[in-house]
Amino acid sequence: MTQPLGSVMLDLEGPRLRPEESDMLKRPEVGGVILFSRNIEDAQQVQALCAAIRRLRPDLLLAIDQEGGRVQRLRAGVTRLPAMARLAEGFDSDPQAVVQRCQDAGWLLGMEMAACALDLSFAPVLDVDGGDSTVIGDRSFSTDPRVVSLLGRAFINGLHEAGMVAVGKHFPGHGGVAADSHHELPVDSRPLEALRRHDLLPFAELAGELDGVMPAHVVYSAFDERPAGFSRSWLGLLREELGFKGTIFSDDLGMAGATVAGTPGERALAALEAGCDMVLICNDRAAALEVLDACEGRASKRQAKLRYRRARPSLEALPALSRWRRVHAQLESLADTSP
């Protein structure tokens, strides 16, 4: 029987657990840990760090942002992944080959992250590239929402083949604003019907296949004055209209786009009350402690269902798989030639 898991995912300061972090991870409000580049030396060290965390709390979700391109936290000892736009190249001339490439990429990512003892990567990006976004750009599969849906589905299928969950981001779409929500609060003023025809389309088509969704710290002012991750209207639309039944993760509550919701503790409660199941708080230990205090007693079974359930593959054994060798060579070649 699945036991409820705490509602806070937080980060660590370095590549090894510190005593004060061990004490913090024992708090029941903690439900997960996300690794950043500062926590990583190579794949073997990540395995060791995950093992140390699991000795303290075997139930915790262990996560990473490992999309490819400029967002690849773990690089040494695993495949270099091209950006999603690079994966999509050639779609017009050979769509079947590109769909297979995206599925293979999802499978390889899932196998490698599972072998490193992680439970999930926050992928795929389902934002539609609007051409002006400073933070999305080549992280998106395409400027065409139907291509994003098709290739996103292939990537999700590949992750599922590897036994790993898929977390789509950034609902309902961050690609239509130029501002970066890490540094400011973007406002997208397009009407809801325009969003439905464009940015929302991949999320609408894939809601039944995603295990998790991360909403954007973006205000869609024609629909709600609150950023999507703090909006009961947006998260209600995701649940009720789109039928999404998985876990909703907030984006990092330390980002500038989240500060409109108040103090760190107020942000966490606002996100949970809007419909998020788990909140992320990163790069600020004092804020993390405040969020833990605010989230006392908050837990859910949804996020507990995302743990990797299969026997984990071995990093050393992956090269014995012909599929891994083929996909590894293909993706490394694409990564080498990325602009």
Binding residues: 65, 73, 139, 169-170
In the chain, count H helices and then E strands. Answer: 11, 14
Widest pairwise Cα distance in the chain: 55
CB 43 within 8 A of CB 78: yes
The set of catalytic residues is: 182, 251
Which residue type does 143 have? Answer: T
CB 190 within 8 A of CB 220: yes
Q: Is the dihedral of CA 163, 124, 89, 76 positive or negative?
A: negative
CB 155 within 8 A of CB 102: yes
Where is the binding site for substrate, in residues?
A: 65, 73, 139, 169-170
DSSP state of 254: T
* Residue of 13, 55, 52 whose CA lies nearest to 34: 13
